[in-house]
Structure 1
């Protein structure tokens, strides 16, 4: 069909059988012979990675099919960085010292607490 925009997404390496978006629209007033096309993606406040492994685009005609075997593979997740390891180590050490300080305070408080003698219960406040 002429002037049809189709959008297909695939989570695997197989070509989707249907487009998730198909819309008849004439984009020729907005497209020049030479221009850049970009993509944008978002998840709101959550962190996420979006990858476009391949795409096919054609003005005035059917876009050619992608060779799925020539597309790049999905990038491996980043290894733990030095900063993350250092930050986790410092946080763990700080938590350890806070717990030791809390234990020392509780022992001190237990030894120095005001013990109520039996005669104090008879006399009253």
Structure 2
């Protein structure tokens, strides 16, 4: 079950959910059909992995929203929370995971040239002009 700022948004029947920031939007989220967000865009992405309905689409929210994901009580078993592909934490039915923006900004080293668009061209296989 997905909640946004304390209000129930809905449920997803999917293999999992990706919660991504703009910095992480060009990794697993992009590979799972989610949007690529510019790193300076203050947003959070909720992207269902292999949803069981075509109506389930990625959701982009302002980074000021607090997102809560509750493991459904009707599941046959618990779930797993994986953080950045590294740490895996087992979750039980009814467990709630809360995502919110830190009061501290991450300080990243960014090259003088803007590599965001070059990275998109490379990852998406774009080359040359985009003609309609």
Shorter chain as denominator, the TM-score bin is under 0.3
Larger strand proportion of the pair? 2
**Which structure features the higher share of helix residues?**
1
Taking CA–CA contacts closer than 8 Å with sequence separation of 6 or more, which of the two structures ends up with the larger relative contact order? Answer: 2
